Structure 1
């Protein structure tokens, strides 16, 4: 069965309104106005893939925390893990929504 198409704007909304580890979007109230709108797309797509394919929330959390520390050079904190977990839960809700819409 074919998987429903991902709407990148849904992933962007999660990235900019929940995750945003570099606080790039804090200067505006509307994430759609951010100059670097696609900055987090690759990270969100990969984390979403972990959830969509295997439902592996811990792997997705570890991935996002790894991006923050390795790729972005941020210091690991409990807030980082909490933010990654909140982001992954939102991504997982979206994955479930896509699955349920497949049968509409």
Structure 2
């Protein structure tokens, strides 16, 4: 019997590093610092909201959802 290896866990800090550097759907990050930092004290108050979007997008990709659909999900949050 072939065993299926479990998928690696999503590392939230890595997901935040990627997501926050490329995506700010509701314009909360400092425009003078476009890369933003999820671990800046000023950003922690809304980190959980962004985390929920990023975790959902990553989970969709892991389940095999086409990339275009995941992009549409993220764009939908922005609009």
Normalised by the length of structure 1, the TM-score is 0.56
Gaps (5+ residues) in structure 2? none
Instruction: Give CA-to-partner distance per residue, 1:36-87, whole Å, 9 cap, x none.
Output: 2222111111111221121511010111111222xxxxxxxxxxxxxxxxxx
Considering only CA atoms, is the larger Rg found in Structure 1 or Structure 2?
Answer: 2
Q: How many residues align?
A: 69
Q: How do residues 2-21 of structure 1 correspond to structure 2 at under 5 angstroms?
A: 2-21=6-25
Q: How do residues 1-104 of structure 1 correspond to structure 2 at under 5 angstroms?
A: 1-26=5-30, 30-33=37-40, 34-35=43-44, 36-54=46-64, 56-69=66-79
Higher RCO (Cα < 8 Å, 6 or more apart): 1
Normalised by the length of structure 2, the TM-score is 0.71
Gaps (5+ residues) in structure 1? 70-104
Backbone CA RMSD of aligned residues: 1.9
Report which of the two has the higher share of helix: 1
Structure 1 residue runs of 4 or more that deviate by more than 6 Å after TM superposition: none
